[in-house]
Amino acid sequence: MPVAWFLAPYKRRAGTISPDRYCAMDDYTASAAWTETEVLGNRAVVKVRASEVTLAAINADPDFVRLPKDALDDPLSDLSSGQKAALRNLLLDMGYTLQEIQARFGADLGDYTLRDVLRFMASRRLKPRHDRVNDTIVLDGEAQSCRDVDHVDREVV
Amino acid sequence: MAFPVTGILDDFNRANSTTTIGSNWTALESGATKDRGISSNQAYNPDGVPNYSWLYYNVAQFGPDSECYCTIATWTTNADNHTLMVRLKDVTQDAYTFDAYMLQAGISGTDAIKIYRIDNNVNTQLGATVNPMMANGDKIGIRVVGSTITGWLEQGSGWTEQLSRTDSTYAAAGYFGFYTSDDSTWRVDDFGGGTITAPPLFLRPPMHLLAR
């Protein structure tokens, strides 16, 4: 079966005693094999192995973003300007600054591979806490390390 | 490595109580509504709905490589779960700042086992949910070795690994803990666990001692 990379959100699980969040890819576990690394912006970089039908269903889910390449070593050189701009905007939306993005990738993401972008996405995440007054999960704590994307890659083949 | 490799820490074999499961356990939240108890040599929640509690075994910290397990003599009948925690730290009562790795098992709706990382009392599930069928008398276990966290189940014919997850956030030794669901029907027994020590490497004898 084919594999694909997605950026997936974390969802709050309702009806739990303690604040509980999970990677939304678990909603597709019945029809997909997957593993993830939590990254900045309450998201996870996820590698999925599933049928084309399931991958299409996940791609159609507005909460998910399918990344433009399927293998870590795939170059981004053939991405359109629009695709590269969308990828850059995704990094900004996650919470990385323009300065950080430019320092890492310069002017053209096309000079890099999917691995380079995913490793950048997995530069850090922030420790969550529970705002008990408003019953919300807030991700504004100390920076924590992310699981290595190569390890994620090896786990789903 | 077989599971478990450590022994029972608390078999709960003592006098019935409606206020405590023993001095070796400390609650992460204070208050009389967080009562725990002993009934027929098993741990239980005498207060039921809506009173749940998080407890940790205060005798020692274990690890960093460690495992713990227990018998679910009777599963909670609420839409709730049983949990085990390892590498539990920051246990200041009522601060809600504790961190840990957690195995969560429940039979409400679809039977499910999950592994979590806990950050400041926020549970983040690691990876996918698995769905073995479970019943009264099953045993659940969690082991953490390095950055690998595994969940285990025993249903009468030996322990089997149900799921394995990777996370390196919390690498230090910590306490063991479990969560007491907010109903008075569940019973937990034979809480066990301990530090896992890697077996010694085979050491080749010095060359001059080898048989010629």
In the stretch 6-65 of chain A, residues with CB closer than 8 A to chain B read 10, 13, 15-23, 25-26, 29, 34-36, 38
Note whether A130 contacts B79, CB cutoff 8 Å: no
Nearest-CB residue to B125 (from A26, A127, A129): A26
Compute the nearest-CA separation of B119 from chain A (Å).
Answer: 6
Nearest-CB residue to B124 (from A16, A17, A38): A38
Q: Distances in Å between the alpha carbon of A101 and those of A89, B60, B64, B72, B181?
A: 10, 46, 36, 50, 46
Going by C-beta distance under 8 Å and a sequence separation of 6 or more, which residues neighbour residue B139? B69, B70, B71, B72, B153, B154, B155, B159, B190
Going by C-beta distance under 8 Å and a sequence separation of 6 or more, which residues neighbour residue B133? B111
Provide the residue-wise pLDDT of chain B in tens; the chain has 212 residues: 999 999 999 999 999 999 889 999 999 988 756 668 999 999 999 887 778 888 999 999 999 999 999 999 999 877 788 999 999 999 999 888 999 999 999 998 899 999 999 999 999 999 999 999 999 999 999 999 999 999 999 999 999 999 999 999 999 999 999 988 888 899 999 999 999 987 666 655 555 555 55
Note whether B125 contacts A23, CB cutoff 8 Å: yes
pLDDT digits (tens, 9 = 90+) for A1-48: 999 999 999 999 987 878 999 999 999 999 999 999 999 999 999 999
Note whether B129 contacts A19, CB cutoff 8 Å: no
Chain B CB within 8 Å of residue A129 CB: yes
pTM recorded for the entire structure: 0.94
What ipTM was assigned to the predicted interfaces of this complex? 0.96
Return the residue of B nearest to A31 by Cα.
B128
Chain A CB within 8 Å of residue B120 CB: yes
Note whether A20 contacts B80, CB cutoff 8 Å: no
Helices (H) and strands (E) in chain A, counts: 5, 7
